[in-house]
Amino acid sequence: MKEKVVLAYSGGLDTTAIIPWLKEHFDYEVICCCIDCGQGNELDGLEERAKLSGASKLYIEDLVDDFCDNYIIPCVQANAVYENKYLLGTSMARPAIAKRLVEIARKEGASAICHGATGKGNDQIRFELGIKALAPDLKIIAPWRMTEIWSMQSREDEIEYCRQHGIDLPFSADSSYSRDRNLWHISHEGLELEDPASEPNYEHLLVLGVTPEKAPEEGEYVTMTFEKGIPTSVNGQQMKVSDIIRKLNELGGKHGIGIVDIVENRVVGMKSRGVYETPGGTILMEAHQQLEELVLDRATMETKKDMGNKMAQIVYEGKWFTPLREAVQAFVESTQQYVTGEVKFKLYKGNIIKAGTSSPYSLYSESLASFTTGELYDHHDADGFITLFGLPLKVRAMKMAEAKSTQK
C-alpha cells in the first residue's frame, strides 16, 4: 500500500506540477487539500484540475470564519502591524492552513505534508513551524528546496513537465505579478515592483479597489460598533466578522483605502518589495484603535503597543503555535473587556477621517479636559508634580555645572 502525502494545493501551476512530481520521485498517493480563506473565484475548477494531474482526492476546506474569528481578530485586538505598515494578511492565514493540513493528514493516515513555497520566502517557515508544532512526526516535503531532483526553474519548465506526463492544462507562460489573496488582503510582488526605484503600475496592479485619485469626489460616512474589541455591526446592520470584513472591503476599495507600498525585511534575511491591498482591514484596525483611545488608560496603552509589536513579529515569523503567542494574546484579550462602543468616520480618497467615538466605558472627562476644570483638578497641584517629575533633570544639570566648575 502506497504512502500518502497531503499537498497544500492552490490550483496554480506550481502546485499542479508538484502532483506528478511527487508520484514520480516518491511514489506517493497524492491527496490535495485546498484551504479556502476567502480567495474567491480562484477555487473554480480545482477538483477537475487536481484529478487530471494525478491526485487521488481533493479536499476544499472552508476556513473563512475560523480565519476571521481565531486569527484575524486577535491580531486586530493587538494592533499587530509588521514594520508599521504590513497588516499580516498572508502571515495570519498560514497557521490556520497548517492546522487544517495536519488534521487532513491525520484523517487520511498520511506520512507527509508537501507545500509549494519557495526557498526564499517567509511562507516555508510559517507552514513548517506550524506543522512541526502540531505534528512533529510528519515528514515535510518542500520541492523548491530539493534542487537535486526539482529541476524546474520557470513556468515554461513546469508547463512542459506537465505535458510530458500527459497533463495538458490551460496554463499560460505569461509573466504576471506573484499574488496571494484571502478575505483580508491581496499581496502583489514581481514585475516592476522588483525595482524599489520604480513606481507601481496601479492601473495594472490593483484588484480590490482604486487609487485615491480615482475614488469618489464625495466622502462617505460609516458607523461601526464593537463589543469587547470584536466588531459587531456596520451602519447599523449586525453581522458576523467575516461579513463585516467583506462589507468594509467593498467600502474601502471604493474609496482607495489601504494601499501600501513597502520594502520589508523577510525572516530569511533579505529585503523584498511588495504592494498590499487591505481596504477592509485598514478600516477595521483604525476603527478599533479609535475606540481604544477612549477606553484604555495610558500605562495599558503603552504596554499594549509593545505587545502589539511583539505579536506582529510572532505572526510574521510563523510562531503562532507557541506559548509566547498564547501569553501575548492572553494579555491583549484582558485589555479588551471594556473596548465596547460606537465609532463613526468618513472615508475620503484614501483617508479615514474621525467623525465621533463613544463608549459607556470612556475614560474621557469633559469637565477635566476643558479649560474650565472642576473640583477634580486644581491647577496649583501641577506645581508640585512638575517639581518632582523634573527633579532628575534639575539634579543632573546642577551636577554637570558643578563638575565643570571644578575642572576649571
In CATH, what is the architecture of 4-65+87-164? Answer: 3-Layer(aba) Sandwich (3.40)
Residue type, 370: S
Distance, in Å, from the CA atom of 322 to the CA atom of 76, rounded to the nearest integer, reads: 19
Residue 90: the pLDDT is: 98
Residue intervals in the chain for CATH 3.90.1260.10: 178-296+339-358
Summarize pLDDT for 141-183 with one digit per residue, the tens: 999 999 999 999 988 999 999 999 988 887 787 778 999 999 9
- The secondary element (H helix, E strand) that includes residue 327 is helix 323-335
Summarize pLDDT for 293-348 with one digit per residue, the tens: 999 999 999 999 999 999 999 999 999 999 999 999 999 999 999 999 999 999 99
Residue 185: the pLDDT is: 98
Q: What is the mean pLDDT of residues 219-230?
A: 98
Residue 300: the pLDDT is: 98
May I ask the CATH class of domain 178-296+339-358?
Answer: alpha beta
Name the residues annotated as catalytic.
14, 94, 123, 178
CA atoms within 13 A on the CB side of 293: 12
Residue intervals in the chain for CATH 3.40.50.620: 4-65+87-164
Of 49, 169, 189, 35, the residue nearest 118 (C-alpha): 189
Would the pLDDT of 374 be above 70? no
Do residues 256 and 212 make contact, with C-beta atoms less than 8 angstroms apart?
yes
Distance, in Å, from the CA atom of 324 to the CA atom of 164, rounded to the nearest integer, reads: 48
Of 95, 92, 3, the residue nearest 56 (C-alpha): 3
| pTM: predicted TM-score of the whole model, two decimal places | 0.94
